[in-house]
Each structure stands twice: as C-alpha cells, then as structure tokens.
Amino acid sequence: MTGLEDHLRGLWLPLVTPFQGGALDERSLRRLTRHYSAQGIDGFILGATSGEGMTLREAELERLVAIVRDEMAAGRRTLPICLGLSGADTARLKDRLDETADWPIDGYLIASPYYVRPSQRGLLAHFETLADHAAWPLALYNIPYRTSVNITNQTMLRLAEHPNIVGLKDCGASREQSIALLRDRPKEFRVLTGEDANFFEALSDGADGGIVLSAHVETATFAAVYAEAKRGNHDAALARWHEVADLTRLLFAEPSPAPAKYWLWRCGLIDSPEVRLPMVEVSSELAAAIDREIERRTKVAA
C-alpha cells in the first residue's frame, strides 16, 4: 500500500501490544488484528504510546509488525500501518529509519524529541533531517505535555511543505492552535486528533480524523461518529458521540494503556491485562468501575 497521505484520514487505531509472562503475546495479537481489521477502522498505529513502544526490543517490534501484516494478508481487508518511533537523538533515529526501511509498513509516526526541549529551529532541522532520510512518509506527533516542547504552527507549516511529511497527530497546546493549523495547512496535509476526549470537537473543527485509543471499545460507534461528521450530519454525529464520550474519560482515568488492556482482557480479546514497567495494571477501584461499565453496556446491547 502506498500514498500514505491518501489513507491518513478517518479512524485510526493505536493498537495495544499484548504481553503475557513478560513476552509478546502473539496469539492475542493475532486475535486483535483479526477483530479490528473487520471493524470500521482505517489504519493501525503500531509500537507508539498506546503500544508501549518504548518498552519493545527491536526484535519484538519487528515481530509485531510482521504478525499484524500477516494476519491482514490472511483476511479480507488490508489496512495501512504506521510505525511509531520516538527519541531525542536525531542520529539514532536515522539509524532506526534505516533498520526499519524494508519492514512491511506504510509510514512512520514520529514524536517530537522528549526531555531535551529543542528550539523551533532545532525541531525544524530534526524533522527535515528525518524526512530527507526516511524510505517511508512521516506523520509527525505533537504532544507537548509528554515531550515538553510544542511544535508551533509556524514551524509545522514549514514542515508541511516537505514532500515526505504528510500529516500530523495533533495533541497540541490548544484548540485555538489546532483550528488555526487546520485553516492554514496545505490542502493535502492531513491532521488527525490524538486526544480521544476531543474527537468529536476536532472533527467539527475540520480535522481529517483521529488516532483514538478508546476505539478499542465500541469501535463501530467511533467509526459512526466520523462517518456522520464527514457527511455533515452534525446532530447525528453528536448523538453517536454521546454514546461513547464517557469511555474516553474512563479509559484514561489511570495511565494508558492499562485501562484499555484491562477492558480487552475482561472481554476476552487478549489473554492478559499485563503491561510493562514503569506502567502498572489498573487499581482495584478502576477495575471495578470498568467491570460495571462492561456489564452496563452488555445489558444495553441485549
């Protein structure tokens, strides 16, 4: 699959990475891939924040990509894959681009350098260097509350001119900044929100879609929110949004992706809610709240 910019819209799923006994749980990963490939999602993000990518060894990350691609090939639907990469060393990230250049992916999702807090000139040079080097297109990831640096719109608009930078996962500083970027961006530059709780709001503002962890649950409803918004049916989109808005708070009540993994485990989609340190599994209080919500939704569906 080529032309990432043509596919970087709609509902993308930042797939959790299942573990069991400290290892990649390949059986659960295959089950997840089959399940979500049959749902109304438009692409997978692998090995990023929700996938606990910073805890994955290179061999695990490569196996993760291979399994997801293999399961899709065996099914009836092939979706684009973006590989999440992050780091604060431009040279090391160039090496990672080389190491993954022949993997069966369609692009990268690359976050701002964390901790070092580069200037806007530094961000510009960092991302342009990576885009010049990458074999696959890049979507950037602006999330200043994790990286301590915000990519300003002035910098982003310059980066959007690069032919190998095709979009943005927007977890930026403010709605005002996001609206201004949507107004001023080049026509083919895609902007997807990465803030689950703002999915409907971002679509109303003109975003091209979302990368939504909460869509692991009630996937069809999240897809319907996007579909109705795209058709211009504001009231219908809002009505569907009200069905899942509370989920976006529940699934982020403790550090993600532990709540989503607990939900998926309780529903039988993964064999363990295991996460890797420094993440820990959900508290007993949140587990009880999730159990109640699963029971409530099961009764409503019945």
Question: Which residues contribute to the annotated binding site?
Answer: 50, 211
CB within 8 Å of 171: residues ≥ 6 apart: 141, 142, 143, 144, 145, 146, 193, 194, 195
* Nearest in space to 85 (alpha carbons), one of 122, 135, 38: 135
Selected catalytic residue, list 169, 226, 261, 262: 169
Cβ–Cβ < 8 Å for 46, 245: no
Contact 19/181 with Cβ under 8 angstroms?
Answer: no
3-state secondary structure of 141: strand
- For 77, half-sphere exposure in the C-beta direction (CA atoms, 13 angstrom radius) is 13
Q: Report the alpha-carbon distance of residue 199 to residue 211 in Å, rounded.
A: 9
Asked if 141 is an active-site residue, the reply is yes
Tokens of 228: 């109705």
Task: Report helix, strand or coil for 13.
Answer: strand
Strand partners, 12: 43, 211
Catalytic residue among 36, 108, 141, 262, which? 141
Largest CA distance in the chain: 56
Phi, psi angle pair for 81, to nearest 5°: -125, 130
CA distance 57 to 99: 13
- Residue 176 CB partners (closer than 8 Å, separation 6+): none
| 145: annotated active-site residue | no
Give binding residues for pyruvate as ranges: 50, 211
Query: What residues have CB less than 8 Å from 55, skipping those under 6 apart?
Result: 276, 277, 279
Residues assigned a catalytic role? 141, 169
